[in-house]
Amino acid sequence: MIQVQFSPEIIDSLDYERYHHPSPQVQKKMEVLYLKSTGMSHKEIRRLCRISKTTLAAYLKQYQDCGLEGLKVLRYKGQPNRLLEHKPTLEAYFKDHLPRTIAEAQAVIEQLTGIKRSPTQIRAFLRRIGMK
């Protein structure tokens, strides 16, 4: 069992951040550490937070190594948007040939880039490049 010590200031910070941090992933980490600071068993923390032994150990180790600020670091970068590579070409095309529907834009994007995306993704992409 990993043993960590919590000062009253850290406990107050954990209590605040578990509800107010903008990232749900960080909120969960803060919840886990807050429950640990109350003396709750690891088994009970894992059950309440629905995490594995490995995840609990990783959160505790991250806190030991980097402190409270280390818990706020998210390492997930997501996947790159492949349509953004074609942004200049698509912007130029759509300025000259305004699509009437999302389905039409979807077909043109697939034809020009070879990338097939759902209508929702096409709509979000068009908004991102400044089209309404």
pLDDT in tens, 44-67: 999 999 999 999 999 999 999 999
Please state the φ and ψ torsions of residue 90, each to the nearest 5 degrees: -70, -40
The pTM (predicted TM-score) of the whole model is 0.60
Burial class, 106, CB count within 10 angstroms (exposed 0-12 / middle 13-18 / buried 19+): buried
- State how far the Cα of 14 lies from the Cα of 37, in Å rounded to an integer: 9
Mean pLDDT over each residue of the chain, to the nearest integer: 91
**What pLDDT is stored for residue 1 in this prediction?**
63
